[in-house]
Amino acid sequence: MSPQLQDDRRCFACGPENPNGLHMQFEYGDGVATCTVEPGQAFAGWSNIMHGGIVATLLDEAMAHATLTTGERAVTARLEVRFRKPVPTGDSLVVEGRVTGRRGRVLEVSGVLRGADGTVYANAQSRFVTELSPDG
C-alpha cells in the first residue's frame, strides 16, 4: 500500500510551519504556478551564489504546484535541470511551473527560474505521476 499524499504544512519549500524553509507562496493560472522568492545567503553554495540543490528545489516546487491546477496530487518522477547562470542570493527571483502535457497518470511539466529583470538562470523539465485513488 502506498502512503497517501498529506500536507503537514512543513514542506521545506512551501511549508508555512517550517522555520528553516523557503516559505514559497504561489499564484495560480491555467496550468501555471508562479512564485516570487528571495532566498538569502543561508541558501548559498559559494559566497553569494545559490546552491544548485536549492535552485532545483525552487523549480521542482513550482512544477509540483503547477500540477495542482489539474485538481490532482502528484509526485516528481523525473527532474532535469539546465543551469544557465549562477543565481545570486538575496535577489528577487520569479519561478514558474507549467503543465505542458499528459499521458495517463504522467504529467509533463516545465519550469523556469528568472531574475526580476528577466534573466533566465535555470530551466527544468519534469514528469510527475498522479496519486492513485485509495481503491487502486
User: Is residue 1 situated within a structural domain?
Assistant: no
User: 114 lies in which domain range?
Assistant: 27-130
Q: Other C-beta atoms within 10 Å of 81: how many?
A: 20
User: Is residue 47 situated within a structural domain?
Assistant: yes
User: Is residue 119 situated within a structural domain?
Assistant: yes
Distance, CA of 30 to CA of 15 (rounded, Å): 23
Is residue 1's pLDDT more than 50?
no
Position 131 scores a pLDDT of 85
Is residue 134's pLDDT more than 70?
no
Position 100 scores a pLDDT of 98
Q: Other C-beta atoms within 10 Å of 84: how many?
A: 13
Residue 32: strand pairing partners: 98
pLDDT, tens digit (0-9, with 9 covering 90-100), for 75-122: 999 999 999 999 999 999 999 999 999 999 999 999 999 999 999 999
User: Is residue 68 situated within a structural domain?
Assistant: yes
Is residue 129's pLDDT more than 80?
yes
Residue 51 sits in a domain whose CATH number is 3.10.129.10
Q: Other C-beta atoms within 10 Å of 60: how many?
A: 21
User: Is residue 35 situated within a structural domain?
Assistant: yes
Nearest to 92 by CA among 117, 110, 65, 111: 117
User: Is residue 19 situated within a structural domain?
Assistant: no
Distance, CA of 34 to CA of 45 (rounded, Å): 24
pLDDT, tens digit (0-9, with 9 covering 90-100), for 33-72: 999 999 999 999 999 999 999 999 999 999 999 999 999 9
User: Is residue 21 situated within a structural domain?
Assistant: no
| Top-confidence residue, 131 or 99 | 99
- Total domains in the chain come to 1
User: Is residue 3 situated within a structural domain?
Assistant: no
| Top-confidence residue, 5 or 28 | 28
* Cβ pair 96, 111 in contact under 8 A: yes
Buried b (16+ CB within 10 A) or exposed e, 95-108: bbbbbeeeeeeebb
Is residue 136's pLDDT more than 70?
no
- Give the pLDDT mean for 7-29: 90
Give every CB contact of residue 103 below 8 A, 6+ residues apart in sequence.
none
What pTM was estimated for this model as a whole?
0.92
Segment holding 127, helix H or strand E: strand 120-130
